[in-house]
Structure 1
């Protein structure tokens, strides 16, 4: 009824009459701008997705080209090892048959250092074998990570997927970071392996970033205290950065009273943990509105686990700052806070992925 009535606005003791027709025009212009922004954002996401798909195909092709010569090397190494062993045995037989060889042969034997050659040749062949095997595993891991999933899920060995991601991250896994793997007896699970590889990569990268920052901070703090003569250099032993990976089959009760079987993959670190603000931002990033504004790696992982695989994605964090164990349970669960029942100096973050076992 009041749609066409005049609208009066007061600004600093002054009154202005607004034209309803112009307001409607401004409203639809704003709606048009919002639609255009959403369209451009969608187009940018499509272009980025297409770039990543093309990059994945490129890396997959490069890995395939690497595997071809590696297979030639690997296939011929066994023959080279056997041939060299037979030649060394023949040379030994000649030495036994000719105990007093001519002087030129003696000089040649000393020039090539025959005794050293006999010891070093098997080691050199074993070294080439190790390098070819590592290169083959690395190329295979690249292929698995960049593989574009089919329309339907397929049975996958999750332990092999996690190991391949750890191999890709080996350059960041320094000797200061320990990786503890406690694998249970898991059956092959129906899933999209390429997408789960992305989830494992995102979680492990997050753990590594946290541990590396903590290691640098501990080292700087230790150096500062040592220079100030506050502590002895050998008096303090910093906590060794550790990533623990645990897999198992578990049963979880449902609201209906029926217990279903799930595959549990837990990836935890002993880093500084997440603060309350970081946990709040993490929860907000899992919402649909936040994902459209800015997709983070953990938000993408949450979407892959919950929407694509029908699973659950949980984050538990223990921070010494607030002295409590806080569980951010995602995928239909609620947030819980429980008192810290362990040493307050023990901190860390644990990511748990629950996949239904069909």
Structure 2
């Protein structure tokens, strides 16, 4: 700190003269600041010599020993000095006199204040103060001066950085979208090519099974007509283990048939997922959508995960099946990613639980789902059989009133894992576009954002998440029955 001043330039300490190496979280202490302090007991002529020696100095800090008093800007100083008799009145006296007369509202900000936030506070000042420098407190006893122009230049640089980053992420999103579109087209073509030979296999399996039965019948007839087989026939039966063939071949045919049906089911799921939804909503079986999603992810789920399915008896809804399948795939994939470490070390402990049910909604949920409280709750489309069971004891319903005789008003799909959980600081941001904690190879930060949009905008629903570090995470999708 400089308690006395001489016009020697060595007494002026400047750093970060140009705002380089800025980033989105840059603070005031990263900018070009002037460390120039003058004791308030000095005479006013000191400021004249100082400001005339360097017109770029925005202002000086006034100190009384180690005590911060305030700041005098060059602009304000010369404005006062231009008035009649001002030089005679102030230059020969201590700076106390000038400061008491010219003192104005001061903007004092901590050094760790983000540049963008500081710029917003600076431009919100009155027109008389908007060009006044800002005092930045670096430490309890260290104050420096920031020119407003430098602040606005830094804000502009950060804005350009943010724009460029958004452009890059948008470009990456477009590339990823194009890749997914191409993959979807390729998937549709490949699934079509697979479907034809699989259908041929399934069709011929019945013929093969019939031929087998006919051949076995023919052999039985031969054995009845010629019970005493020749030695060569007996030897050949023993060589090929004819008894095992009779027993094993039907099981082989059944296995081929079952595998072919599973393959055709997978192909149908891939074709359905890759095609574009119609412009109009259609009737959707949510449990079936979940099964399709699990079928697509089966190769990942079978590697060390316990999958628990608690499907309730829920009515169909009108919606977009492929978009809902995309939501289920995104959420289940995140659960699988969260459980990867557990599944490798303790395969029997990693668990994903999927629960579907109908339940009552709280008043807040009814408002979000746009369910009219006084309107009939269940349209004629839905059969009363769906609502025979009592509401699930695991329901998270937080209704303030006792359950009435009215029917439940929403469908709940809960997907839970017992992974490491999501820290609270991150939990509030998981639905933000491009926000992700995964590496670029594993995630783009779009899955949950798109899922949230599909549920809320396209299906008038609600996507909730609860998580506890060390215990796991649960996503709940609420969809209105109406």
TM-score range, shorter chain: 0.7 to 0.9
The SS at the match of 2:415 is: strand
Query: Is the alpha carbon distance of 1:10 and 1:198 closer, same or farther for their aligned partners in structure 2, counting shifts above 3 Å?
Result: closer
Q: Which residue of 1 is the match for residue 472 of structure 2?
A: 348
Determine the C-alpha separation between the residues in 1 that align with 2:33 and 2:207: 93
More contact order relative to length (CA 8 Å, sep ≥ 6): 1
The SS at the match of 2:429 is: helix
Query: Is the alpha carbon distance of 1:217 and 1:140 closer, same or farther for their aligned partners in structure 2, counting shifts above 3 Å?
Result: same
What displacement does 1:99 show?
1.4
What displacement does 1:214 show?
2.4
Show the 5 A alignment for 1:39-50. 41-50=169-178
Determine the C-alpha separation between the residues in 1 that align with 2:245 and 2:231: 20
Q: Which runs of 5+ in 1 are unaligned?
A: 1-8, 220-238, 321-346
The SS at the match of 2:428 is: helix
Show the 5 A alignment for 1:1-358. 11-13=34-36, 14-16=54-56, 41-174=169-302, 176-216=304-344, 240-254=349-363, 258=373, 261-276=409-424, 280-287=425-432, 295-320=445-470, 347-358=471-482
The SS at the match of 1:351 is: strand
Determine the C-alpha separation between the residues in 2 that align with 1:186 and 1:295: 31
Say whether the 8 Å CA contact 2:417–2:472 is kept in structure 1: yes
What displacement does 1:33 show?
7.9
Determine the C-alpha separation between the residues in 2 that align with 1:117 and 1:193: 46
Which structure shows the bigger proportion of residues in helix conformation?
1
Determine the C-alpha separation between the residues in 1 that align with 2:294 and 2:446: 21
Say whether the 8 Å CA contact 1:318–1:348 is kept in structure 2: yes
What displacement does 1:111 show?
3.3
Count of equivalent residues: 298
Say whether the 8 Å CA contact 2:435–2:446 is kept in structure 1: no
Determine the C-alpha separation between the residues in 2 that align with 1:286 and 1:39: 20
Query: Is the alpha carbon distance of 1:253 and 1:29 closer, same or farther for their aligned partners in structure 2, counting shifts above 3 Å?
Result: closer
1:138-185 CA-to-partner distances (Å, cap 9, x unmatched) read 212222222222222211111111112212222222374221111111
Q: Greater shift after overlay, 129-138 or 210-219?
A: 210-219
Q: What is the TM-score normalised by the length of structure 2?
A: 0.55
Determine the C-alpha separation between the residues in 2 that align with 1:157 and 1:215: 31
What displacement does 1:290 show?
5.5
Query: Is the alpha carbon distance of 1:120 and 1:285 closer, same or farther for their aligned partners in structure 2, counting shifts above 3 Å?
Result: closer
The structure with the larger Rg is 2
